Amino acid sequence: MSTETTTAPVKVKVPKEALFSVKNKRLIYDPLNDNNPITVQVLGICSALAVTVKVKPSIVMAIAVVAVCACSNVIISLIRNIIPNRIRIIVQLTVVAAMVILVDQFLKAFIFDVSKQLSVFVGLIITNCIIMGRLEAFAMANKPWPAFLDGIGNGFGYGLILVIVSVVRELFGAGEIMGFRIIPESVYTAGYFNNGLIIMPPMALIIVGIYIWIQRSRNRKLIEPN
């Protein structure tokens, strides 16, 4: 019996992961595409229907969610080891609520008119399933940096859908995008009308549905077996 096989265990040196390793990049890209919080995880639908009548409020809303999601992910990730398991939801809620209040005050201070349009929906970010979902599923089990990227990625994934839906809705509902007239007056005088259905919430649901339809027919992996 040679002794070579029973050498002392070599101390495995874990290489420090690069800040933007492939794994970390995926945290940002995936929510934009195959793991979108709205169209694949089907979270946060409520606010997506309510604030997407115009493009401007949806962009503000998207930024607010990105900020809240990223910050609370980082905070929860930092204190993840000292949160008692039984009251973790309450701790998470407290953190999210604090972030949302900050964002709300910020909006009220600097862009008051948009804040008024968003009204209660900024406050309702607290209950947005995406944020709670990410805290539970990711931040509680990962280090701050990946948690931050995950928050950013999911926030942008949410914002992407918001912007797409709101562009369609504002274009066909008011003929404008960001308040600029896109469909010229001459078209209206020729007999064109703004679509009244598209500014109602059901139509937002249908647009999200069409997006899901297109996404799933392009990527068959997303279709769940019956």
Contact footprint for another protein (CB under 8 A): 191-193, 195-198, 200, 206, 209, 213
* Amino acid, single-letter form, for residue 88: R
Residue 94 or 194: which CB sits closer to another protein? 194
Residue 179 or 202: which CB sits closer to another protein? 202
| CA–CA dist 69, 150 (Å, integer) | 9
- Residue environment code for 69-97, b if the CB has 16+ CB neighbours within 10 A, otherwise e: bbbbbbbbbeebeebeeeeeeebbbebbb
Closest contact distance (angstroms) between CB of 48 and another protein is: 18
Task: Calculate ∠ Cα 191-196-198, nearest 5°.
Answer: 115
Closest contact distance (angstroms) between CB of 183 and another protein is: 14
Residue 117 or 195: which CB sits closer to another protein? 195
Residue 50 or 205: which CB sits closer to another protein? 205
Closest contact distance (angstroms) between CB of 119 and another protein is: 24
Closest contact distance (angstroms) between CB of 162 and another protein is: 21
Cα 204 to Cα 37, 45, 71, 140: the distances in Å are 16, 10, 29, 33
Residue 98 or 199: which CB sits closer to another protein? 199
Closest contact distance (angstroms) between CB of 124 and another protein is: 26
| CA–CA dist 131, 32 (Å, integer) | 15
Residue 26 CB contacts under 8 Å (≥ 6 apart), including other chains = none
Closest contact distance (angstroms) between CB of 191 and another protein is: 6
Residue 24 or 195: which CB sits closer to another protein? 195
Cα 12 to Cα 15, 19, 137, 154: the distances in Å are 9, 21, 29, 34
Tell me which residue of 59, 12, 25, 76 sits closest to 160, measured CA to CA: 59
